[in-house]
C-alpha cells in the first residue's frame, strides 16, 4: 500500500503516465498474487453529512484509469464523545 503521491512517483508515472498531482486518490493498494492496483479514497464528515455525488466525482474520474482494478471509498463519520472526536467507519 502506498500514499498516492508516492505510488505515482514510483510506479504510476513510469508505467502508466499518471502524475502525483492531487486527484482525490489517497492510497493505492496492490493485490498480492494478481498484482492488481486499487484506488482508495478516505472521507471524513460530520455525523449528519450525507455523502453526495459531488463529494466523490473527482475520485471516480481519476480512478477510472485502466491501471486500477477496483475503487474503494472508506467513509468515516466524526462523533464527539467527552470532548474528543471519535472516528467510526460507515459501512
Q: What is the pLDDT of residues 24-61, one digit of tens each?
A: 899 999 999 999 999 999 887 777 777 888 888 898 99
Q: Give the pLDDT of residue 90.
A: 44
Q: Give the pLDDT of residue 2.
A: 95
Domain count within the chain: 1
Best CA proximity match to 72, nearest among 52, 33, 42, 32: 42
State mean pLDDT over 11-31.
90
Beta carbons within 10 angstroms of residue 74's beta carbon: 13
Q: Give the pLDDT of residue 89.
A: 46
Percentage of the chain exceeding pLDDT 90 = 47
Beta carbons within 10 angstroms of residue 84's beta carbon: 7
pTM (2 d.p.) = 0.77
Instruction: Quote the distance between the C-alpha of residue 42 and its chain's center.
Output: 5
Query: Whole domain around residue 49: which residue ranges?
Result: 2-90
Amino acid at each position: 500500500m502506498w500514499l498516492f503521491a508516492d505510488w505515482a512517483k514510483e510506479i504510476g508515472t513510469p508505467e502508466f503516465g499518471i502524475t502525483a498531482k492531487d486527484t482525490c486518490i489517497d492510497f493505492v493498494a496492490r493485490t498480492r498474487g494478481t498484482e492488481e492496483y486499487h484506488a482508495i479514497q478516505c472521507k471524513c464528515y460530520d455525523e449528519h453529512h450525507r455523502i453526495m455525488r459531488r463529494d466523490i466525482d473527482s475520485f471516480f474520474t481519476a480512478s477510472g484509469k485502466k491501471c486500477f482494478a477496483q475503487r474503494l471509498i472508506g467513509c468515516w463519520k466524526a462523533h464527539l464523545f467527552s470532548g474528543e472526536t471519535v472516528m467510526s467507519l460507515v459501512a
